[in-house]
Amino acid sequence: MAPAGRPGRRRLYGSLALGAAIIVTAGLLWPNSPDGPDGSSTGTGGTSGETRTADAPARGAAAAKELQKLPGLHLRAVYGPGSGKPQTEADLTVTADGKATGTLRMPVTGQAAMAWSGSQLYLKGDKEFWAQQNPHYGGDVSSSGHWVAPVKRDGYYMLDSFGINAGSLNPKSLASLVRTVTSDPSVVTEDAGSMQGRKVTSYSAGGRMVILADAAPHTLFAIGANPADASPVRTAAWPRTTGSAVRLAAYGDGDGYYNPYLVAKPEPATDKEVAAARADAAEAQGTAVPPLTSAEKVAASQGPVFTTTFNSPYLCSSNPCSYSFTVTNTGDEPGDATLHVAFPGTSERVHPLGTLAPGQSKGVSGIRPNVAAGTGKTVRHTDYSWVYSTAVYGPDPKVAQRLHARELEPGDVFVATPLEPLAANLLDLMTKNAEPADTQTNEKAVEALRAANSRGQLPLLMTIAASGRLANPQDLADSLSTTDEIGGARVLQQVAHLLKTDPKARVWFDGGYKAGDGQTYKTDYIFTSSRDGQEIRRAVQVKTIEAWKKLWPRIAEATRQLNGENKKGKAQQGKRGPEKAPPGFERVVQINLEPSVGQGFFYGKADLERVLRHKNYAQARQNLCMENGAFGLDRLVIVNSTGTHEWTDLSKLDVPCQSPGR
């Protein structure tokens, strides 16, 4: 067997990690590893492959019989839409008659309660969850905590981030799937080690996989499948009114295939859990509302919206002149409001209005100088007014003042009202160090955030901004230009996760770190922190691999980048300069393995070590050395479905560098 061969089109690419692969710290369901690189089994079972294959139909039938007796199932699952989009973690209870309730969680931030009844999905999500969805419901669904019945916007899935008919994950459907896989004449069996103290075997056929206990009762421990190809498990798709059904399988670009996939661990649900699921599904079905249908309704339905009316006469012939404004909350929730007005020849005046209820108005009046006094002429002038509210700009009035001075507002990013304070924080973070008249910086920030919003990445950016520990916010607009591809998207997720989980971390994201030698250095991300009283200083170059053949070329490229040796002698683009780790920083190469790499996606650390040390890669390992023969990196990190695997002693991988120094 080759060291992690290229997968075929129908191979199952299941992920078992909780959350996106690049931030996983432990596998959810998978045993430590499948076959080793030399073809030997790494499991602990003692039954031969031939015996397991011969017994597969009988074991499958026994497991299916056991499943069908259950009133319902509790499932921990991970769904990947494919094409590098974030994975969704699900915790579900599914009844025997196809009702389901549970929780969906997005990587880093955002979650929703979900229910399934009949052929309809119901959701009750927080604002971070809605902002990551495609079709993009973040702009037209309130985050006030009520149930919503999604309707079709774009594409085929009801919810792209969890495109599963949750009701089809019932005991009868899984029993049918088990029978189909284990009775397939082409079924492939593998010793899968042990789960819950019992020896288990995986059975794979037609791109579907089940893991069963070797000894009776032959409990089903895990399933994996593309739901579009695993009947009676089905996708959560709207039925087509004309034409034939469409297979929901994406095609690859030569580096692998990006089919949607689901991996789940089922356990028997108690009668109490089943009863609760039915009740919750009935509540969702009975109280859900459809999402809104127009931008005007959206604007007025997700929080306070303030409109200002200028009531003064167009022409003033007295001195001083009087002025009058009316502020009205045209939204559907109360909100605090402060009116700011500015006239020629006067400083800005501030009028606190308190909290305005929906539909409530308050007036403001006063006097101001007549700028035409003594001139004998009619003078045209412009008066300015704007409303500050914590519901729109957040709690810091200085953020609002800086944005107003730049003629920026959070609505420029095209986000729903509940997200506007976070968008305001981001806009301010990206522009406050530039001159107010720098319109190019303003436009660049707005366009970058609009693009990130269309990709569902604003919650990740908001997590980064909220930490207050991004050291190079002025580079953020440039950094976001790479997050439209899988590699850049995974780096963004990693940075957001790091800043959320490590309160001591300070991060330079794809930007310039100015070192004590006066030079500026750049890697995918650089960070400082401390742990157990020890300072941590790391420069990380990240590569996301979709095909195993790219592994060593990407490791080599990352190593060259960390040492400033990539594209040496060629003109370097970008104002932040070429990649290179700062002096005194640990050099880290991080490799994220996507499901499309094949069996390497499921390797444990021991398997990865055996593969990396394989004789076929002897020449490739030399690329981990610098041009002077010294080690080119200090830490190698590989992330796949079984966890995050690290090596600081690279001699274990037979790397032939001359010394650990630089």
What's the pLDDT score for residue 303? Answer: 82
Averaged pLDDT score across all residues of the chain: 82
SS (H, E, C) 499-525: HHHCCCCEEEECCCEECCCCCEEECCE
Q: What angle do CA 23, 521, 543 make, to 5 degrees?
A: 35
Structure tokens at 60: 């499958």
How far, CA to CA in Å, does 504 sit from each of 499, 500, 532? 8, 10, 12
Structure tokens at 216: 């009776």
What's the pLDDT score for residue 606? Answer: 85
pLDDT greater at residue 439 or residue 601 = 439
Q: What are phi and psi of 378, to 5 degrees?
A: -90, 120
Region 614-618: mean pLDDT is: 92
* Nearest residue to 427 via CA among 406, 451, 456: 406
CA dihedral 256, 510, 527, 16 (to 10 degrees): -20
Query: How many Å is the Cα radius of gyration of the chain?
Result: 29
- What number of H helices and E strands is found in the chain? 15, 24
Mean pLDDT comparison of 8-12, 69-73, 106-110, 598-602, highest-scoring range: 69-73
**For residue 22, pLDDT beyond 60:** no
Region 55-73: mean pLDDT is: 96
294 contact partners, CB below 8 Å, separation of at least 6 = none
What's the pLDDT score for residue 440? Answer: 94
Cβ count within 10 A of residue 159? 22
Rounded to two decimals, the pTM is 0.80
Mean pLDDT comparison of 75-84, 186-195, 275-284, highest-scoring range: 275-284
Region 356-365: mean pLDDT is: 96
Q: Cα(644)–Cα(501) distance, rounded to whole angstroms?
A: 16
**For residue 301, pLDDT beyond 70:** no
How far, CA to CA in Å, does 645 sit from each of 32, 154, 441, 486, 589? 12, 39, 40, 21, 12
According to DSSP, residue 564 is labeled T
Q: Cα(406)–Cα(398) distance, rounded to whole angstroms?
A: 12
Q: Cα(408)–Cα(436) distance, rounded to whole angstroms?
A: 10
* Nearest residue to 639 via CA among 613, 611, 602: 602
Cβ count within 10 A of residue 604? 21
CA terminus-to-terminus distance, the chain: 37
**For residue 460, pLDDT beyond 70:** yes
Do 43 and 232 form a contact (C-beta atoms < 8 A)?
Answer: no
Residues β-bridged to residue 3: none
Sign of the C-alpha dihedral computed for residues 524, 526, 530 and 534 taken in this order: positive
Q: Return the residue matching tokens 């800086």.
A: 402
Q: Which of 372-381, 435-444, 520-529, 621-630 has the lowest mean pLDDT?
A: 372-381
pLDDT digits (tens, 9 = 90+) for 180-235: 999 999 998 888 777 788 888 989 888 788 999 999 999 999 898 888 889 999 98
What's the pLDDT score for residue 20? Answer: 28
